[in-house]
Amino acid sequence: MNKTIPDEIVDAIRSRCNIVDIIGSYIPLKKAGSGIWKALCPFHQEKTPSFSISEQSQNYHCFGCGKGGDVFSFVMEKEGVEFSSAVHLLAARCAVVAAENIPDKRMNTAEPAADNGESAGDPQK
């Protein structure tokens, strides 16, 4: 697995994107208590809501099918995309950073090609 997206971007998105707003844009939510929201699970068929979202921990969990996670895994699951796409999508949604500022699979950045093309695992700039 290549880790192309810096943690600070992921953290910025996580802190700016309220999971309640994001999930609420996909499915209708009902407030079920202080910081707790419930919904019909989007990942399995059900008649009574067992899908719950915690605003405090910014996590969701379905007691019916067992799916759970954070805002990124929700988008990945719901949109059927991989992590980097979910990050791009949420970055655009929450206006954290312009999507083109997020390094993605070796796209050309503003820099001209560097001399040392193969810099696998180099944490420095």
Q: Toward Zn ion, which CB reaches closer, 27 or 65?
A: 65
Q: How far apart are CA 97 and CA 18, in angstroms?
A: 16
Q: Is 85 helix (H, G, I), strand (E, B) or coil?
A: helix
- Answer for which of 4, 24, 38, 43 binds Zn ion (CB under 5 A) is 43
Q: Minimum distance between the CB of residue 40 and Zn ion, rounded to whole angstroms? A: 9
Q: Within positions 50 to 69, which residues make up the interface with Zn ion, using CB under 5 A? A: 62, 64-65
Chain contacts with Zn ion (rule: CB under 5 A): 41, 43-44, 62, 64-65
